Structure 1
Amino acid sequence: MLYKIASIGILLRIIMYHWFPIQPIPHISSPYTDYKNALEGLSYLSLGLSPYYSDSPVHTPPLILWLFSLMPSQHIIFGLILSADLLNSIYIYLITKSKLAFSIYLVNPISIISTSSMSLSSFIHLAILTFGYFTLERRRLRAVFAISFLSYLDPCMLSISSLWYFNHFTKRIYILAFLMTFSLFSASYALFGETWDWLWSCQIAQLLNYDIKPNIGMAWYLILEMFKRYQFLYRVILAIHPWLYIYPLHCLLHKYSKYSMYKNTSNLYFCILYLICVVSHPHPTMEDFMIPFILISTHGELIMRVKSGFFTVTAGVIGVILSIAMWGMWTERVGGNANFLFFQTIFTNLMIFGFLFGLLHQVNEEIKMKKHQITCKTIVEEVVLSILK
């Protein structure tokens, strides 16, 4: 069954790539994952020039660009992206243990369009999913390689590494991750003329959102509407924002594990923090939102108890559909400005935060209920013992 679904998913991606090419839109790719951005970098390399300079539009990491330059044709690069996408589906299955999650990822139109348009986000998702799987399975060394690759590709998602903190990994693992990441940075430094210019284009500009383009996130509009003198402060606040949730989430879910005996809290922590990172990301795409929702679907029994769950998820999907329609109506066809996107994007993101708030509120309520039951049981036992005496 799984082989048939995988074959159908691969075939649909190949058909879309060859015969139905789709122009990238902000819902599918970002300036940091768009293949055209990588092509521009490759054209610089073919002329013997460095693609990284002050205010460079090229954001593809040097090692990825170097790897693409070795490929004889674009079809081979598409094969690499397709392979990464197939691995994503496999790791989703390994994390969720669900054939349905595997099938949803492979045959849904969002991931098919993203892969067929050659979005480089497949590599980022692969790093996140491998990190999550290897950490949950406590395969430390493989998790180190995954998080190092992720920090190299997308520093905005680095707060997801706190899954190590949640699982009480030792300090040695953090040192190994730092050394591995430093080796990737050093290789990029040596490969591109012993200069750190790429660091601004591929890391700092992405983390602080300097290449502002309309997307389904909120950061671009907040920065554009802010006075210029305060923009840097806002960029820094938005960059550190996901890190603020780590400790409260850590405490809440450990209490939940203790009182409710819920065995899958590490997986739940990974899913929730993944979704928080996506909402806080400067350039999220629909596939970025889709994957954590697929992962969190394995906690269906808990989600079904969230009173606002159905409303927030449904409203969020409607917001995404409206933003796609507004992009086609006002931005592409008649050259309108991107302000028409903002209502839909803020509505979508608020609904996702509403879903997370409802989920965590339900977790907190269940902790209180279990505490109350334990207290009542203790009182009853003490009364019975006193009577027997």
Structure 2
Amino acid sequence: MALIRVWRARQRISASERDNLIAVCYLMNPYILFSSLAMSTSPLENMLVLLALMFACYKKRSSTMLCVAVLVQISLSYLVILLPIAMILIVGPYSRLASPYQPNIPRLALFSLLGEFLGYHTLLTALSGFASGNWSWMSQTWGASLQLPDLTPNPGLWWYFFTEMFDHFRSFFLMVFTVHLFIYILPVCLKFQYDPLYATFCLLGIVGLFKAYPTLADSGIFISMVAVFPEIYPYLRHPIVTTMLHLHASLLMPLFHSLWLRQGTGNANFFYASTLVFACANGAAVIDCLWSGLRVALGPAREKYVIIQE
């Protein structure tokens, strides 16, 4: 329901025939469905993301910042979407990909929102420390994303790299991998400052691609949200290739995981190869959406003209 309300707010309507399609795209997405059946906590993270977006679309700043603060308590990686969600509260969620402009974003309003988030985050941190009786929970929650203590195979890119990493290089590359996730915030938010909801959508795809401990649901919410942006469909360059990559990866990952860890007839390279295919599928989807989001403003291609660079 939250995703449907985001769609309605973006289109400035109270209801539409597309509502059911958006609900089906989310609820029947295999990545999200299987994560729910596996009793993963990722659907809870997705719920908080969608609630934060819904509240932001309807200008409920306190509810929005509280949802983001709870989300960051669970996973530090979602700090990536704090800035674009704050921009939604100021600029609005409306579809402006076809008519880009430079919005007036008052710094005082932006800093006020970030300050409110910091207040909620500090309060939740204090409550967590009080509930646990000490501060050791930080190393077991936030520290897990920063130090990568558990190298159990997962759909992400980090685990195999750090399995093969020499110990004296580990700290440096942990810093590089962690910082790398956050370097996309300003470029994406500046490029899509006129449509911060689309910026949030793109950054969610990047989180699903480069998160330390990703799950299928992290990519699932990004794929499901494509239904909210039908204006980009005519400008997607390789949707069939991206779809086939996802299908290929979804078949390879359980197969190679079983060959390696259950039957013992494979090795780590088998499963990591399938996660690389999954990463290529996610990366192709993110790049295609970034391109098409910029391409919308130029309209349909005209005869004797070629788009060289946005």
Select 1:352's aligned residue among 282, 286, 293: 282
- CA deviations on 1:156-180 (whole Å, 9 max, x unpaired) are 2211112145444521111121111
Select 1:155's aligned residue among 69, 72, 76: 76
- CA deviations on 1:8-41 (whole Å, 9 max, x unpaired) are xxxxxxxxxxxxxxxxxxxxxxxxxxxxxxxxxx
- Structure 2 gap segments, 5+ residues each: 9-18, 89-104, 303-310
Q: Confirm or deny: 8 A CA contact 2:85 2:200 kept in the other structure.
A: no
Shift of 1:155: 0.7
- CA deviations on 1:342-380 (whole Å, 9 max, x unpaired) are 11111221232122223323344455x47x99xxxxxxx
Select 2:161's aligned residue among 222, 242, 246: 222
- Structure 1 gap segments, 5+ residues each: 1-89, 258-264, 374-389
Superposition misfits of 4+ residues, deviation over 4 angstroms = none
- In 2: Cα distance, 1:286 partner to 1:151 partner: 19
Counterpart residue identity of residue 161, structure 1: L
Q: Confirm or deny: 8 A CA contact 1:313 1:352 kept in the other structure.
A: no
Number of residue pairs matched by the alignment: 272
Select 1:287's aligned residue among 217, 231, 236: 217
- CA deviations on 1:201-258 (whole Å, 9 max, x unpaired) are 111122332222111111112222222211112112222222211222122223xx5x
Is 1:182 aligned to 2:111, yes or no?
no
Distance of aligned partners of 1:165 and 1:146 in 2 relative to their CA distance in 1, 3 Å threshold: closer
Select 1:173's aligned residue among 91, 113, 126: 113
Q: Where in structure 2 are the equivalents of 1:62-141 lying within 5 Å? A: 90-97=1-8, 98-141=19-62
- In 1: Cα distance, 2:292 partner to 2:27 partner: 31
Secondary structure at the residue paired with 2:192?
helix
Shift of 1:109: 4.6
Is 1:143 aligned to 2:54, yes or no?
no
Greater helix percent: which structure?
1
Shift of 1:145: 0.8
Task: Provide the aligned C-alpha RMSD in A.
Answer: 2.3
Q: Confirm or deny: 8 A CA contact 1:303 1:359 kept in the other structure.
A: no
Secondary structure at the residue paired with 1:207?
helix
- In 1: Cα distance, 2:229 partner to 2:294 partner: 16
Distance of aligned partners of 1:236 and 1:358 in 2 relative to their CA distance in 1, 3 Å threshold: same
Shift of 1:152: 0.7
Q: Where in structure 2 are the equivalents of 1:301-380 lying within 5 Å? A: 301-334=231-264, 336-367=266-297, 369=298
- In 2: Cα distance, 1:361 partner to 1:102 partner: 26
Alignment TM-score, normalising by the size of structure 2: 0.80
2:170 — aligned with what? 231
Is 1:243 aligned to 2:192, yes or no?
no
Alignment TM-score, normalising by the size of structure 1: 0.64
2:144 — aligned with what? 205
1:79 — aligned with what? none
Counterpart residue identity of residue 300, structure 1: P
313-322 or 285-294, which moves further after superposition?
Answer: 313-322
Secondary structure at the residue paired with 2:248?
helix
Distance of aligned partners of 1:96 and 1:365 in 2 relative to their CA distance in 1, 3 Å threshold: closer
- In 2: Cα distance, 1:105 partner to 1:297 partner: 9
1:270 — aligned with what? 200
Q: Confirm or deny: 8 A CA contact 1:124 1:150 kept in the other structure.
A: yes
Shift of 1:108: 4.5
Q: Confirm or deny: 8 A CA contact 1:135 1:163 kept in the other structure.
A: no
